[in-house]
Chain A
């Protein structure tokens, strides 16, 4: 299985809501990533989980918080988002945190109203 899955596909939430995005991979990969992608722009790295350690892009607001329940799952908890957070959220995984191909999931299209 060479696939990364993400749920939900689409999400509309208000600025006071709390929601979670889910990502799963069954390739035995040891690194997982969350990216944010705006239209016609490249993916921007938000978080990396590698060998059970979290690395954070320090520019990511605290209203985004990642959680890694096990080596196959990566969640992104959302709270008190702003309209400018509307974007495509992509999860990816790779063999390790190094010079390896990253496999992307299909993404969650998030709209904050």
Chain B
């Protein structure tokens, strides 16, 4: 099946700085890459996603880039705010296994005011 690796596992940034989280995947057939944010004690919520026919997608302060050749994708958060503090999970979905989500191990982001 698919294998997703996520780095770093923890990340601390000053408020206003940028944060970047990187994921790699193994199955070249993977075609959908969502990013979820999970605040402590709450449900995972989708913050942005990208499909394999697109190289980059942006939504206000959040962007995702996808490099299909290298099989990696990244989450970029600019102008970070304390409310961005959470655990972020990347995932990859491949039709080879019915498009179930394979999650990365998570990144705990702390934004220091």
Contact = CB atoms under 8 A, between A and B. Distances in A.
In which size bucket is the chain B interface? 20 to 34
B42 interface: yes
B89 A107 contact: no
B44 A43 contact: yes
A74 interface: no
Contact of A99 (B42, B45, B93): B93
Contacts of B104: 42
Given A40-B106, A41-B105, A41-B106, A55 B98 contact: yes
A98 B46 contact: no
B93 A45 contact: no
Contact of A101 (B42, B49, B108): B49
B43 interface: yes
Q: Is the interface of A mostly helix, strand, loop or mixed?
A: loop
In which size bucket is the chain A interface? 10 to 19
Given A41-B106, A42-B89, A42-B106, A102 B101 contact: yes
A40 B36 CA distance: 14
A97 interface: yes
A98 B106 contact: no
A34 to B, nearest CB: 12
B89 A99 contact: no
Nearest to B104: A42
B35 to A, nearest CB: 11
Contacts of B64: none
